[in-house]
């Protein structure tokens, strides 16, 4: 089946630094990808919709200047957490769809010290 | 706005016993419904989905779910659970067919006891 891959799976960074997470569709092209955030023992909350070749669409309450999304190609979307702080520590998951099904990446756990 | 409710935060069942995880949704039109499973520290895997047609849908790993419009429910069932079924289960609703964004329930954590 279709595969969506995220990298890195785990990242630890110091407060104030920026972190980039990649989401790739390995065997299909995705004009749209979605970024979710999941707090411990909670559900997934949609952060933004990443659109290839255009600006991302952010959900209400998500700071677009904090969470930069770039979807430069049909197989790659990136999420950059800028000037990360401990409250940004979370599990970030991306997804992309093809042939009527949505596939999720393995997730990236960000820990900000 | 659409919403999904999973009333049970945590369920414990014995291995070999039957399982039912509840899911209720709120959506004005015909919903597109999904069940996903998440193992610790992992992404989500699709168990099954309902778009239209037969209201009883079969999924992977022996799971099934039944769409009941009158009750706005899409409960997940399995006749006999295995220890490997221990995980977090999420019900989700989508607005359109295909790869549109989903609204997730809060999840149900399933523990299996020997």
- Enumerate the residues of chain B whose CB falls inside 8 A of the CB of residue A4: 43
Q: Name the CA radius of gyration of chain B, rounded.
A: 13
Predicted pLDDT at B86: 96
* In the predicted structure, residue A95 carries a pLDDT above the cut 70: yes
Q: Name the CA radius of gyration of chain A, rounded.
A: 13
Dihedral sign (CA B82, B69, A95, A11):
negative
Place of tokens 């610790």: B40
From B98, B78, B42, B61, select the one nearest A44 (Cα to Cα): B42
- Enumerate the residues of chain A whose CB falls inside 8 A of the CB of residue B106: 42-43
Q: How confident is the model over A17-55, as pLDDT tens digits?
A: 999 999 999 988 988 899 999 887 788 899 999 988 889
Q: How confident is the model over B40-69, as pLDDT tens digits?
A: 878 889 999 998 889 999 999 999 999 999
Q: How many helices (H) and strands (E) does chain B have?
A: 0, 12
The answer to whether B107 and B49 have CB atoms below 8 angstroms apart is no
Verify whether the Cβ–Cβ distance A101 to B42 is below 8 Å.
Answer: no
Q: Percent of chain A, pLDDT > 90?
A: 70
Q: What is the DSSP string of B62-100?
A: G-EEEEEGGGTEEEEEESS--GGG-EEEEEEEESSSSS-
Q: What is the DSSP string of A55-107?
A: --EEPTT--TTTEEEEEEETTEEEEEE-S--GGG-EEEEEEEEETTEEEE---
Q: Which residue has the higher pLDDT, B99 or A63?
A: A63
Joined together, the tokens standing for residue B82 give 């295995």
Distance from CA of A16 to the nearest CA of B (A): 25
In three-state secondary structure terms, B15 is coil
The minimal CB distance from A43 to the residues B97, B101, B105 is found for: B105
* In the predicted structure, residue B75 carries a pLDDT above the cut 90: yes
Q: Nearest-CA residue of chain A relative to B102? A: A46
Query: How large is the average pLDDT for residues B27-50?
Result: 87
Q: Which helix (H) or strand (E) holds A108?
A: strand A108-112
Chain A (71-100) residues lying within 8 Å, Cβ to Cβ, of chain B: 91, 93, 95-98, 100
Verify whether the Cβ–Cβ distance A43 to B90 is below 8 Å.
Answer: yes
Q: Nearest-CA residue of chain A relative to B98? A: A100
- Cα separation of A15 and A18, whole Å? 9
Joined together, the tokens standing for residue A27 give 């065997």
* In the predicted structure, residue B4 carries a pLDDT above the cut 60: yes
pLDDT band at A2 (very low <50, low <70, confident <90, very high): low
Predicted pLDDT at B31: 84
């Amino acid at each position: 089946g279709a595969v969506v891959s995220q990298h890195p799976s785990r990242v630890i960074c110091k407060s104030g630094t920026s972190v980039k997470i990649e989401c790739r569709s390995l065997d299909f092209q995705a004009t749209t990808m979605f970024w979710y955030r999941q707090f411990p023992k909670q559900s997934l909350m949609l952060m933004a919709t990443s659109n290839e070749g255009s600006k991302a669409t952010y959900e209400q309450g998500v700071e677009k200047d904090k969470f930069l999304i770039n979807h430069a190609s049909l197989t790659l979307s990136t999420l950059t957490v800028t000037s990360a702080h401990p409250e940004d520590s979370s599990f970030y998951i991306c997804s992309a769809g093809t042939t009527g099904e949505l596939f999720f990446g393995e997730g990236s756990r960000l820990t900000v010290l | 706005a659409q919403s999904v409710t999973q009333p049970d935060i945590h369920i414990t069942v014995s291995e070999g016993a039957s399982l039912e995880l509840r899911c209720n949704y709120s959506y004005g039109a015909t919903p597109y419904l999904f069940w996903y499973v998440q193992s610790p520290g992992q992404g989500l895997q699709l168990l099954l989905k309902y778009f239209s047609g037969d209201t009883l849908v079969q999924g992977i790993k022996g799971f099934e779910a039944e769409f009941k419009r009158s009750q706005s429910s899409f409960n997940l069932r399995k006749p006999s659970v295995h220890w490997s079924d221990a995980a977090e289960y999420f019900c989700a609703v989508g607005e359109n067919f295909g790869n549109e964004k989903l609204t997730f329930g809060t999840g149900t954590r399933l523990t299996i006891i020997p």
